[in-house]
Amino acid sequence: MEKNQELRNAWDFVEHTGISIFLTGKAGTGKTTFLRTLKEHSSKRSVIVAPTGVAAINAGGMTIHSFFQLPLSPFVPDASIKNRFDYSKEKRKIMRTLDLLIIDEISMVRADLLDAIDSVLRRFREHDKPFGGVQLLMIGDLQQLTPVVTPEEEKVLQRYYDTPYFFGSKALRSISYVTIELTHVYRQQDSTFITLLNNIREGKATAADLQRLNERYSPTFLPEAGSDYIRLTTHNRMAESYNEDQLRNLPSRACSFRAETDGNFPEYSYPADFNLTLKVGAQVMFIRNDNNGRYYNGRIGHVTYVDNEKILVLCPGDEDAIEVEVETWENTKYTLNEKTKQIEAEVQGTFKQYPLRLAWAITIHKSQGLTFEHAIIDAQASFASGQVYVALSRCKTLEGLVLASPIGNAAIINDSRVSDYISHQTEQAEQSISALPALKEEYYRQLLIELFNFNDIKIYEAALFRVLTEFFFKFPKINALHKMTLSDLDTRVISVSMKWENVIRRMTTVQLHEDEFKERVKKSTLYFHSQLTELFSHMLEITRDIQTNNKTAAIRFENTYTDLQQTYHAKRELLEAIMEDGFSITTYLTAKQEAILNSLNDGTGNKRRKKKETTNAVKTVKPSTIELTYNLFKAGKNVEEIAKERGLTPGTIQGHLIPYIQKGEIQIEHVIDKKKINTIKRIAKAVGKDSGMKTIKELCPSDITYNDILLVMKTTMS
């Protein structure tokens, strides 16, 4: 990556922007290597999915249908797939905290499947953003494998999509994304051969190209015994028949090896033959990389010894045969590690088999991603776009391939929709790459704006208020409190945040990173934290326990209340984190995911933030914000003095002291004047504490604040 600017650009877009990426490129340009590097080193929380079981196993992820729990039938735009609560709590947590969705072999993903992903992610994340605001990394080559569409599916899809390719997705067309094409070919070194392949890939093969290619046509060619030539065919039955004939003609005894499966490993995801039959002399291909470097996926060899316990394979160029051992493939699902807060791949099942396949012949489809020194290509019966290119590009050199059938223009199938799309995207990519530094800064600005966006809280509070007014009219005081909260939320939070957003948008890049502005950000988090606490803390508490015998009402209340409660607690904890640590992209993303997870875990937003470690081996625990307040109070400072010293509001300081008053470690009379306490208690008793703080406040003297009322109600009247 250090030597390849295109790969560096791809890394920067993934790691330092929120823009989605289509990473494409010719065969052998390093797409798979980039995926592995990203998987190991990215700081973003990611999940890898692929359209087929084998592709998912090879990429170390899950199939799209399995992860998103999608039906196999076509997805019709605006259709409902499942109720959001049909997904496990674990799956909902993962989707809620996902930064990056990696889709491998995107060329095989249909447009409707991408829209189905969009539908699911919107339900668990930001409803008004494509893919719920998740960044996509789509990896693949549209000139290679194509989407599979049956005639019946085509009848359904053509009413909604003008192309089955992923770029026909309505959700994808609604976002700006960058296409990065990798151009440096690592597989081939011969510039003439690379040019020929590129012309075929783009459907621009000249008469001279075809003449040069067909010079390799040799219909009677028979490879020498012990050579590593492999035959590439267009259809499964052709490859299977050829392999069976070759195996049958060997005079040696056959040995069969049956795979072992454990746990959940569906048949469609089997990465090797369940029943593998070998003989001495059989030509085989390794289908996995060896940890010790003896073989790699696609290496050809011949069986020199086989019995029920042992297999030896000699590869061209080696002096000694390789003793092949059984390999284990894992079927994984994504889980959330509650301790590390990281998304991890959990093994659901295993498949054990020798990593070998009969390899006198394989299909062009199964050769995808492999590299061969020598190949015999029979592509006359090609039936899909890109098939000839895939077959030819498996070979390292033109001299290493032999054509079993001549290749004419008719066999080189290209889809004009793909060519037009790539041409358009290439132009767009050049503009995006030139703007990369600005896009990085814009990402910083957008996350800052997102920190101060409270629209979700308003949406959930409005939804809860609708449920209360429709079904819980017997609780007029609570309804009145929610109505007042909606109004106060608009004036004290939403309108202020919109003004603050305008300030952030007007700031220059330099100003955004100045210490003075960073301090303004911290003070803003203090303001919004205190406002949210005042508006929702007590209100959620008194709303929580209302009851009804109406099952429909009870379900709707539970769902809307939970949404509001979790969103409120997550946002409040996020504000606290930035209040303490300041704003940076890494701090924000980490704190955001922790806050969401904490709110989902217990619904109360109780903080379980990681303890920080010093650079030496001794671990130190940084006091929490309420502990700092408590320590200053015990040192003899009053509420106003602590507020001034810490840059907080007196109301926030009072809130910090509530737990210590409840535990009896502080007397409330030392925090608030006893005359005020008695006044608040008398008025609350007269009107009923459930009447809401506004009702009580209106009857109190002007020097009594909402925070005074909240403090008394939480510590002496709960």
**What are 347-380's pLDDT values in tens digits?**
888 999 999 999 999 888 777 767 788 999 887 6
Q: What is the dihedral of CA 167, 171, 176, 182, to 10 degrees?
A: -30
Q: Which stretch of DSSP H or E encloses residue 139?
A: strand 135-139
Among 198-207, 306-315, 702-711, top mean pLDDT goes to 306-315
- 399 and 422 together in one domain: no
Asked whether residue 384 is assigned to any structural domain, the reply reads: yes
In a domain, 613, yes or no: no
- How many domains would you assign to the chain? 4
Looking at the structure, tell me whether residues 141 and 227 fall in a common domain. Answer: no
pLDDT of residue 203 exceeding 50, the answer is: yes
Better-scored residue on pLDDT, 68 or 602: 68
Residues 179 and 237 in one domain: no
Residues 351 and 426 in one domain: no
Whether residue 389 is found in the same domain as residue 256: yes
Indicate whether 356 and 387 sit together in one domain: yes
Within a domain: residue 515? yes
Verify that 486 and 513 share a domain, yes or no: yes
Nearest residue to 104 via CA among 134, 63, 67: 63
Whether 611 is in a domain gets the answer no
Rounded to the nearest integer, the mean pLDDT of the chain is 83
pLDDT tens digits, 485-529: 899 999 999 999 999 999 999 999 899 999 999 999 999 999 999
Q: Encode pLDDT of 443-494 as tens digits.
A: 899 999 999 999 989 999 999 999 999 998 888 888 888 898 899 999 999 9
Domain, as residue range, for 364: 203-334+344-411
Q: What is the pLDDT of residue 604?
A: 47
Q: What is the mean pLDDT of residues 574-600?
A: 85
Last residue of a domain, one of 539, 570, 602: 602
Binning pLDDT at 50, 70 and 90, where does residue 83 land?
A: low
Q: Do the beta carbons of residue 105 and residue 51 sit within 8 Å?
A: yes
Listed in order, strand segments (DSSP E) in 204-306 are 230-233, 255-258, 260-263, 275-278, 283-286, 300-306
Is 91 inside a domain boundary? yes
DSSP bridge pairs for 306: 311
SS3 528: helix
> Model confidence at 548, in pLDDT bands (50, 70, 90)?
confident
Residue 266 sits in the same domain as residue 176:
no
Let me know whether 549 and 638 are in one domain. Answer: no
Residue 263 domain flag:
yes
pLDDT band at 603; cut points 50, 70, 90: very low
Tell me the DSSP string of 294-346: S--TT-EEEEEEE-SS-EEEE-TT-SS-EE---EEEEEEEEEE-TTT--EEEE
Evaluate whether 529 touches 652 at the Cβ level (below 8 Å).
yes
| Co-location of 639 and 591 in the same domain | no
pLDDT digits (tens, 9 = 90+) for 301-352: 999 999 999 999 998 888 899 999 999 988 877 666 666 656 667 788 899 9
In this structure, are 405 and 462 located in the same domain? no
pLDDT-derived band at 613 (thresholds 50, 70, 90) equals very low
222 contacts 239 by C-beta, under 8 angstroms: no
Using pLDDT thresholds of 50, 70 and 90, give the confidence band for residue 101. very high
Report the pLDDT averaged over residues 48-72: 79
Name the domain boundary from 358, 378, 411: 411
Residue 443 falls inside a structural domain: no
CATH of the domain at 22: 3.40.50.300
Which band of pLDDT confidence, cut at 50, 70 and 90, is reported for residue 396? confident
CA 672 to chain centre: 49
Please tell me which residue, 19 or 417, carries the higher pLDDT value: 19
Inside any domain, residue 352: yes
Q: Are residues 323 and 404 part of one domain?
A: yes
State pLDDT tens for residues 422-451: 666 666 667 777 778 888 888 899 999 999
Q: Give the other-Cβ count within 10 Å of 614's Cβ.
A: 9
Above pLDDT 90, what percent of the chain? 26
> What confidence tens digit (pLDDT) does each residue in 122-178 have?
988 888 899 999 999 999 887 776 777 777 778 878 888 988 889 999 999 998 888
DSSP state of 260: E
